[in-house]
Amino acid sequence: MSSKRSLGKVFVTGADGFIGSHLVEFLLQRGFEVTAMCLYNSMGRFGWLDSLASSAPSNLKLILGDVRDAGFMESAIKSHNTVFHLASLIAIPYSYVAPQSYFDTNVNGALNVANACIKAGVSRLIHTSTSEVYGTAQTVPINETHPLVGQSPYSASKIAADMLIESFVRSFELAATTLRPFNTFGPRQSMRAVIPTVIAQMLSGASEIELGSTSPTRDFNYVGNTIDAFYALAECGDDAVIGKTYNAGSGREISVADLVNLLAKTCGTSVRIKSSQDRMRPAQSEVERLLCDSTLLTKISGWKPSTSLEQGLAMTIEWQKLQTLGAVAKRYHV
Q: What is the average pLDDT score of the chain?
A: 93
Report if residue 154 sits inside a domain. Answer: yes
Q: What does the pLDDT look like over 22-45, one tens digit per residue?
A: 999 999 999 999 999 999 999 999
In this prediction, residues 61-88 reach a mean pLDDT of 98
CATH number for 259:
3.40.50.720
pTM: 0.94
Question: Residue 186 above 60 pLDDT?
Answer: yes
Q: What is the pLDDT of residue 281?
A: 67
- Where are the extended beta strands (E) located within 44-132? 60-65, 82-85, 124-128
Provide the b/e sequence for 207-231 (b: ≥16 CB within 10 Å).
eebebbebebbbbbbbbbbbbbbbb
Q: What does the pLDDT look like over 251-289, one tens digit per residue?
A: 999 999 999 999 999 999 988 988 766 666 676 778 899
Question: Residue 17 above 70 pLDDT?
Answer: yes
Q: Report the number of distinct structural domains present in the chain.
A: 1
331 pLDDT tier (thresholds 50, 70, 90): very low
Q: What is the pLDDT of residue 119?
A: 98
In this prediction, residues 50-78 reach a mean pLDDT of 96
Q: What are the angstrom distances between the C-alpha of 21 and each of 28, 294, 330?
A: 11, 24, 23
Q: What is the pLDDT of residue 175?
A: 98
Report if residue 64 sits inside a domain. Answer: yes
| Residue 174, domain extent | 10-332
Q: What is the secondary structure of 129-177 as a DSSP string?
A: --GGGG-S-SSSSB-TTSPP---SHHHHHHHHHHHHHHHHHHHH---EE
Q: What does the pLDDT look like over 93-124, one tens digit per residue?
A: 999 999 999 999 999 999 999 999 999 999 99
Question: Residue 328 above 50 pLDDT?
Answer: no
330 pLDDT tier (thresholds 50, 70, 90): very low
SS3 of residue 222 by DSSP? strand
Report if residue 4 sits inside a domain. Answer: no
Question: Residue 156 above 60 pLDDT?
Answer: yes
Note whether 57 and 35 are within 8 A (CB).
no
Report if residue 134 sits inside a domain. Answer: yes
Amino acid present at 5:
R
Percent of the chain at pLDDT exceeding 90: 83
Report if residue 1 sits inside a domain. Answer: no
Report if residue 39 sits inside a domain. Answer: yes
Report if residue 240 sits inside a domain. Answer: yes
Report if residue 277 sits inside a domain. Answer: yes
Note whether 14 and 20 are within 8 A (CB).
yes
Q: What is the secondary structure of 224-272 as a DSSP string?
A: HHHHHHHHHHHHB--GGGTT-EEEE--S--EEHHHHHHHHHHHHT---E
Distance CA 45, CA 188 (A): 16
